[in-house]
Structure 1
């Protein structure tokens, strides 16, 4: 999974549905080694999934710790399923809040108006300083 890749399927968006997350993780590249281990050089696909899982782990464990504790004796498919589940669980509140804000155009417009007013004040002060420095005022 790569945020710099131009292929939309190569990353998980905060607004992806559970089905989209499931589809993307299921297509993630792994390898044929039966045991799960963290080795970014020799096992980049599996290591990437472990890094993603680690980023959302409530216990803040490293990818290596997770490979040895959570996934010891398990297979790549189980890693993909667990990574999918943790992503869906942890991203659900973010997605819900995003959708709530997206549907509340009145609130968004209010924030934009308030921000424009604040920006205008700062911009006018900066413009006045610049004019004074240039001797135009």
Structure 2
């Protein structure tokens, strides 16, 4: 009888600057839950992936440290998780080169995410963008990950990783497990100024709540957030997208059903609702901000965490590359 198969999860974020509340509910909090269910949990600061669309890399090092601090501040347990910076593990790039030799170019060109990224970053239509899924496959396969949690937009990349793993195994022997896609339930948080667009820092500072915004900035951003015609505080994505977005944010922070919030604010004005919402966000982010500020005073500690994570990650990556070679 074989033993229970290890559950190995790899996930991460690109260190492209300020994190916002969409990242908090869509990534950071789910990461904290994932570490509890995995036998091995690898959390990657994906700095090489950031280079594909980054026009100015001078802050990349600091952004990488800040992202690692945000991981720890949000509740990542260093006894259960391995946090590391992608570029510090040379085997990621080495395996990516090897995998590129068996990856058909048309498969990359037909990747729907490539088309979207090209349109979003017209000045950065580079080879790194086209080959992004190969490096991502390398990230996943180097640790023999069995599960990869992603949003719907990234699921084509995991299918490519599965296909690359199959091709490699068929040609060279059974080295890699085919990773399973775990579709993450996305936190549907939209822009504060344009509720038809997902919340993103690329749309301007007034459009998102950053995790480390001060209370006054949060109050101001919520105060000037767009609302809909009419006065009713009611969830209706089609006819009232702006107030529906604000109700979603309220519901996520308070962990309260939207119907309950609607009843609470029946007969009240948008201004009253927004005032309460701002205070709820401030209160909800306070513990994270407090922990982050404590970590900011100890940069040597975070650097040590990343060095330790790199050692653990590289040990496994080196073993995998011995099998690949």
Distance in structure 2 (CA, Å) of the matches to 1:119 and 1:22: 41
Q: Is the 8 A contact 1:36 1:67 kept in 2?
A: yes
Q: Any idea what the Cα deviations from partners look like across 1:66-95, whole Å, max 9, x if unmatched? A: 112x11111000010010010000101111
Higher percent of residues as helix = 1
Partner of 1:134: none
Could you tell me which runs of 5 or more consecutive residues in structure 1 were left unpaired when the two chains were aligned.
Answer: 132-137
Q: Does 1:117 align with 2:311?
A: yes
Deviation at 1:53, TM superposition (A): 0.6
Indicate which of 222, 244, 247 corresponds to 1:47. Answer: 244
Deviation at 1:34, TM superposition (A): 2.7
Deviation at 1:105, TM superposition (A): 1.1
- The structure having more radius of gyration, on CA atoms, is 1
What CA RMSD, in Å, does the superposition of the two structures yield over aligned residues? 1.5
Distance in structure 2 (CA, Å) of the matches to 1:106 and 1:36: 48
Moved more, 9-18 or 36-45: 36-45
Q: Does 1:66 align with 2:261?
A: yes
- Tell me the TM-score normalised to structure 1 length: 0.85
Distance in structure 1 (CA, Å) of the matches to 2:259 and 2:247: 8
Could you tell me which runs of 5 or more consecutive residues in structure 2 were left unpaired when the two chains were aligned.
Answer: 1-191, 193-197
Indicate which of 101, 104, 119 corresponds to 2:298. Answer: 104
Partner of 2:211: 14
Q: Is the 8 A contact 1:47 1:63 kept in 2?
A: no
Distance in structure 1 (CA, Å) of the matches to 2:209 and 2:265: 22
Q: Is the 8 A contact 1:49 1:79 kept in 2?
A: no
Indicate which of 127, 131, 135 corresponds to 2:321. Answer: 127
Indicate which of 280, 286, 289 corresponds to 1:86. Answer: 280
Higher percent of residues as strand = 2
- Tell me the TM-score normalised to structure 2 length: 0.38
Deviation at 1:31, TM superposition (A): 3.0
Structure 1 moving runs of 4+ over 2 Å: none
